[in-house]
Amino acid sequence: MSEVIVKAKQGLLRGKVVEDVRGEKHYAFLGIPYGKPPVGALRFKAPQPADSWSGVRDALEEGNPCKSKHSEKFHLQGDEDCLYLNVYTPQLPSLTPEKPPLAVMVWIHGGGFHTGSSTADTYGPFFILTENVVFVSINYRLGIFGFLSFDDPSLDISGNAGLKDQALALKWVKENISAFGGDENNITIFGESAGAASVHYQILSPTTKGFFHKAILQSGVAINPWAQGRHLSDELAEILKIPGASEKKVYEELMKKNADELHELQIAVPDHFESGRKRPWVPVIEKPSPNAFITEDPIEILKSGKFHKIPILMGYTSREGLLMYAFSTMANKSPIIEDTEQEVPHFLNFKKGSPESKKIAESIKNFYFGKEEPSSENIDKGILLTSDTFFIRGIQSAAKHHVKSSGHPVYLYRFSIDAGLNFLKNRLMKLKESGTCHADDLGYIFHSEWTPYIVPDSHEDIIQRSVLRLWANFSKHSNPNVGPKDNLIKIEWKPIDQDTLHFLDIGENLTVGVDPDQSRMEFWNKIFKGYDHAKHYNVLCYLYDKDKTCLSLIYAVIIIELFFSVWTGTKDEMQFSPIIETKQGLLRGIVKDNTYTNIPYFAFLGVPYALPPLNDLRFQSPKEPQTWEGVRDVIDEQPGCYSRHPIFGSIVGCEDCLYINVFSPELPEKKVDFVPKPVMVYIHGGSFIQGSGSLELYGPEFLIAENVVLITFNYRVGLLGFLSLQDPSLKVPGNAGLKDIVMALKWIQQNIASFGGDPQNVTIFGCSAGAGSAHHLIASPMGKGLFHKAILQSGSLFCPWSIGTGYVDHLKEVLHITNEKDMLEVLRSIPDHQLLELQEKLKETHGNLNKRVHGPVIEKNNSGEEPFLSEDPLDLILSGRYNKVPIIIGYSNREGLVYAIYNKLSDGTIQQLPSFEQIIPQWLGYPNGSSESKTIAEQIKRFYYGEEEPCMANVDNLYLLLGDSYFLSGIAFTVRAHVHTSSMPIYLYRFSIDGRLNLYKRSLNLEFYGACHADELGYLFKGILSKQLTPNSKEEITMKRMTKLWTNFAKTGDPNPAEEDSLLNVKWEKCGLNAMNFLEIGDDLTTGKNPDYNRMSFWDDIYKSNPSTSKHFIVE
């Protein structure tokens, strides 16, 4: 058999047969695309999954390497279209289905993040395949292509695209490797140098959870100084001869260049490769965003223990620093370290030339060289120095951190053999100095074009097979000692424990020992103890040292003093790591500093308010959360519900998402005179298909300054939240997402008093679909007693997008399944990403002509559980059978600008409506194309455009039309309906300020008049897109006005201040039967009556003219 075909998720692949070094047959599938080519608009950005293909795709040749210089031959190679991987396997389930799946080893190549590829010329797996494993190698973007970063969120280039490529490849392996005979639940990632640091970054990143199960790190970790980079936009601007240019301008200039020109630009940025400097074009710490790979310093992640807990095998070569010696000699530079100050690690943050830096440099020189001056006579001392600063110190430190926090074994090795297979020293560089060079271990793992003939049973052969056996044993069993019983492995390699740094020396023989290179590591430990720049919580990470010395009283005092330095209350009021008792158990929160007021507040993040809706609970109504024993840490947010990010469009979250965040300015513990605070519960928007309560958009700093308790939370969206089946036995009646909100509100009623909140004074508020959800809660009997006021921002249940279909009819067409039970089995069997793909295949109507696919439904089945909505909410409101509470409701003056976000053409113009009929509300009952529908469509066109045709010159008319039909007409009707059916006050506003905090308009660079849909959120919440507030600017003044109005209402049911307030210098009147009073929130606060009267009257006339709707839509 010369070729074989395998079915991957994207399509069929044709592979070929290859042989290992023993002549045994294996199957190779080469050049498999795992990501879309990152070219054009995708250049520099996070990778996208590869497209599917039809027919059989040849996987017979390796894919392009990524653009870079060849790591051994130094010529420029590769292409931007380079996201490919290779799979080698001894077996295929299609040919031998009886064989169990094999352990999988995924190789991430090194090359300093600037060079390299997965080619078999360098990394031939023909040794590895003899150990009966599946081998995968990947390409990822390098240099400027893989590690360009900008702070400007609108560019969506936060950095680390190369690491994100690796993560996408690992996801591909997880999803597809079973088709190649691999075990998707036994994946080991391994790499050398920058490949090892990449492996470490994958362990540290929260984005790769579940993609792998073990790791091997050869000569590299994320805390090595060469693995941490800097942002380069200012340097690029200088090189591009546009000094001081914005990041957007720099990006535009880069996009004009071809790949070769970009590579020339890359190497124009000096890479000094010194411990004392951060490097260019390597991983960086990103600002929090949906596409972020890593947002904290790796050392902080290690100390906090917030990484993937897996077995690890890691180590280094005895003379790693021979690499720097080789670099110097190749560049015709002196290999002598003439300035030991360059070896002072950059993360100590001492400026070169400072007294502290010079003092450390002198200590380094004295320790490594004694009374000698660095020279050619003591070159080995310099090699040891660079070995330690660049590699060994960081590797040993990382190993210890993993042992302290992981609970899984960590095996440490030192590679010291000096023989013919030493890859870099003897095969490439021909170095004469003693010791084992960086990358020398590669020759014992990979069969490359540099591999010499190996004499069977020679010393090199035995060591090579021993190393490979250890690596394979670990990959298969998480223990390098467990494997075939033969004479290769005759020692027991112990993992590191809390007391002893066990290690294996791979030299002329395999030997074991403890504390390798101890005296040199103790020197560096003293350096770091003497210059501890760690934050106060880092001290807590070392509760004891090697001899179990307890945390000293001095350290405890330091912690307390550091915390009190930002606390404005008394010491009796202070709580560090506050603990709260809830119905489910004890919670430990965190104290955060309000970056706006500098007054600390209490945060409890990621509190479960319901059971994870997984497996059989997928699509069902939420269930009560479980209780727990002990104290549960709630100091980090949990993921949002699985969906696309509402701004960036990337896939975020997971199905285990029913979590709540509580922010409180004060806790009631032990305070007799404590007065509970009003509670404000924010319901996020996102068209019922996306969004979360994440801090990245909804930070509490502005609102909590007004002395309220703020709550944000997640609820299920899309198919997961709004699937509705008619068969009552299936227990999926619909509105699971709204029932999640009800469950969250019940949790608040049961528990909020413990956080300082008043359960009898709860205000729900939301924007867009969040406002629609809040209005549905007002209409639903399930909302009774759970809240006491409501704020509806740019949405109500009378907006045409607020009612959905429940999906079933659309799913029948796509799945070709008519039986609901069969449909549910399919929907529960597919993973979340396929469910989202299915959801996005369902044809959505963005006009008013039909009900939306997505969103709340009127429940029709009798499943035995309480329905959220069993009647038309319109009938509930108009008959007065709803939860009557005070309401604030309003809109932005150009709601329709949101249309520009999704309908902007490549030339910058806005796509016009294909037909005015799509604007006609579906509840008028006129079929598309009917004479009545055409007549109303003509009336709409004439009213908004007169005799003009729609074009860019009158595009503002389009935004008014869309805003009116999607939002304003429904909001105006809501006001009238509540005024006529409730004695509770209702306050109307129009938001018209156009400032730097307008959330959507500024983040998406919309250059049109007016305030866009959701723009007011930037004045209520502090998020990652928030601009710095200038004191007394219109943005700060508006923020203060809105937070005061909103919180005044939450406190008393009246947005007007109880006492005179210079910021709120007008009286906001409630709406009455004869006057729709409103507040204009613009550069100033002004009041008026009947906003946008002419346009609203036009829509009223349309509803009046229709017999089936006049009785509903016009409240006399």
Report pLDDT digits (tens) over 151-181.
999 999 999 999 999 999 999 999 999 999 9
User: pLDDT per residue over 359-409, tens digit each?
Assistant: 899 999 999 999 888 888 888 899 999 999 999 999 999 999 999 888 899
Residue 530: predicted pLDDT: 59
560 φ/ψ angles, rounded to the nearest 5 degrees: -65, -45
472 φ/ψ angles, rounded to the nearest 5 degrees: -70, -40
| Span of 465-474, 549-558, 646-655 with lowest mean pLDDT | 549-558
Q: How far apart are CA 1102 and CA 916, in angstroms?
A: 14
The beta-carbon contacts of 333-336 under 8 Å, at least 24 apart in sequence, are 335/379, 335/382, 336/374, 336/375, 336/376, 336/379, 336/382
User: pLDDT per residue over 778-793, tens digit each?
Assistant: 999 999 999 999 999 9
- What does DSSP say about strands 590-593 and 789-793: parallel, antiparallel, or unpaired? unpaired
Supply 59's token pair.
């996987």
| 769 in Cβ contact with 776 (< 8 Å) | no
Q: In the predicted model, is pLDDT for residue 671 greater than 90?
A: no
- What does DSSP say about strands 579-581 and 1085-1089: parallel, antiparallel, or unpaired? unpaired
The residue from 68, 137, 158, 193 that is catalytic is 193
- What does DSSP say about strands 214-218 and 182-192: parallel, antiparallel, or unpaired? parallel
Q: What is the average pLDDT across 531-555?
A: 31
Can you say how many angstroms the Cα of residue 726 is from the centroid of all Cα atoms in its chain? 36
Residue 545: predicted pLDDT: 34
Identify the burial level of 708 via C-beta atoms within 10 angstroms of its C-beta, where 0-12 means exposed, 13-18 middle and 19 or more buried: buried
Q: How far apart are CA 382 and CA 720, in angstroms?
A: 60
Confidence of residue 550 (pLDDT cuts 50, 70, 90): very low
- What does DSSP say about strands 677-683 and 709-713: parallel, antiparallel, or unpaired? parallel
Residues whose CB falls within 8 Å of the CB of residue 154, separated by 6 or more in sequence, listed in order: 248, 1003, 1004, 1005
Residue 59: predicted pLDDT: 97
Residue 566: predicted pLDDT: 29
Q: In the predicted model, is pLDDT for residue 56 greater than 70?
A: yes
Count of beta carbons in the 10 Å neighbourhood of residue 107: 25
Please give the sequence-ordered ranges of beta strands (E in DSSP) within 262-363, or none if there are none: 312-317
Assigned CATH topology for domain 579-885: Rossmann fold (3.40.50)
The beta-carbon contacts of 268-274 under 8 Å, at least 24 apart in sequence, are 268/239, 269/232, 269/235, 269/236, 269/239, 271/114, 273/112, 273/226, 273/324, 273/327, 274/225, 274/342, 274/343
Q: Where are the domains of the chain?
A: 535-565, 579-885, 892-1113
Q: In the predicted model, is pLDDT for residue 739 greater than 80?
A: yes
Highest mean pLDDT, choosing among 8-12, 479-483, 850-854: 8-12
What SS3 class is residue 810?
helix
Return left, alpha or beta for 491; rule: phi > 0 is left, psi -120 to 50 is alpha, else beta: beta
Residue 273: predicted pLDDT: 76
Q: In the predicted model, is pLDDT for residue 822 greater than 60?
A: yes
| 425 in Cβ contact with 437 (< 8 Å) | yes
The residue from 62, 247, 320, 460 that is catalytic is 320
Angle between helices 518-530 and 393-406 (to 10 degrees): 80
Residue whose structure tokens are 């249309």: 899
Residue whose structure tokens are 């470490």: 200
Residue 647: predicted pLDDT: 77
Can you say how many angstroms the Cα of residue 885 is from the centroid of all Cα atoms in its chain? 38
Residue 1045: predicted pLDDT: 98
User: pLDDT per residue over 838-848, tens digit each?
Assistant: 999 887 755 55
Q: In the predicted model, is pLDDT for residue 1014 greater than 60?
A: yes
Q: In the predicted model, is pLDDT for residue 227 greater than 90?
A: yes
Highest mean pLDDT, choosing among 43-52, 586-595, 999-1008: 43-52
Residue whose structure tokens are 């007054």: 599
Confidence of residue 1023 (pLDDT cuts 50, 70, 90): confident
Encoded amino acid at 490, one letter: K
| 1046 in Cβ contact with 1072 (< 8 Å) | no
3-state helix, strand, coil in the chain (%, to 5): 35, 15, 45
Q: How far apart are CA 268 and CA 277, in angstroms?
A: 17
| 999 in Cβ contact with 1093 (< 8 Å) | no
Let me know if the fold of 579-885 is the same as that of 892-1113. Answer: yes
User: pLDDT per residue over 900-937, tens digit each?
Assistant: 766 766 666 778 888 898 888 777 778 888 888 899 99
| 899 in Cβ contact with 1066 (< 8 Å) | no
What SS3 class is residue 954?
helix
Residue 58: predicted pLDDT: 96
Q: How far apart are CA 219 and CA 317, in angstroms?
A: 7
Supply 711's token pair.
């709550």
DSSP-H helix ranges across 29-183: 120-123, 143-147, 161-176
Encoded amino acid at 837, one letter: E
Can you say how many angstroms the Cα of residue 545 is from the centroid of all Cα atoms in its chain? 35
Residue 850: predicted pLDDT: 62
Supply 46's token pair.
């996070």
Confidence of residue 586 (pLDDT cuts 50, 70, 90): very high
Residue 663: predicted pLDDT: 97
| Domain 892-1113: assigned CATH number | 3.40.50.1820
Residues whose CB falls within 8 Å of the CB of residue 508, separated by 6 or more in sequence, listed in order: 417, 459, 463
Rg (CA), the chain: 32
Count of beta carbons in the 10 Å neighbourhood of residue 572: 8
Q: What is the average pLDDT across 767-783?
A: 97
What SS3 class is residue 1095?
helix
Residue 554: predicted pLDDT: 27
| Span of 33-37, 84-88, 228-232, 1046-1050 with lowest mean pLDDT | 228-232
**How many residues belong to the chain?**
1116
The secondary structure of residue 307, as a DSSP letter, is: S
Q: What is the average pLDDT across 865-884?
A: 92
H/E run at residue 415: strand 410-415
Residue 846: predicted pLDDT: 52
**Higher confidence at residue 1005 or residue 95?**
95
Identify the burial level of 407 via C-beta atoms within 10 angstroms of its C-beta, where 0-12 means exposed, 13-18 middle and 19 or more buried: exposed
643: annotated active-site residue: no
| 641 in Cβ contact with 716 (< 8 Å) | yes
Burial per residue of 1037-1065, b for 16 or more beta-carbon CB atoms within 10 angstroms, e otherwise: bbbbbbbbbbbbbbbebebbbeeeeeebe
Encoded amino acid at 29, one letter: F
What SS3 class is residue 591?
strand
Confidence of residue 565 (pLDDT cuts 50, 70, 90): very low
Return left, alpha or beta for 374; rule: phi > 0 is left, psi -120 to 50 is alpha, else beta: beta
320: annotated active-site residue: yes
User: pLDDT per residue over 182-215, tens digit each?
Assistant: 999 999 999 999 999 999 999 999 999 999 999 9
Count of beta carbons in the 10 Å neighbourhood of residue 1000: 23
Q: How far apart are CA 280 and CA 457, in angstroms?
A: 45
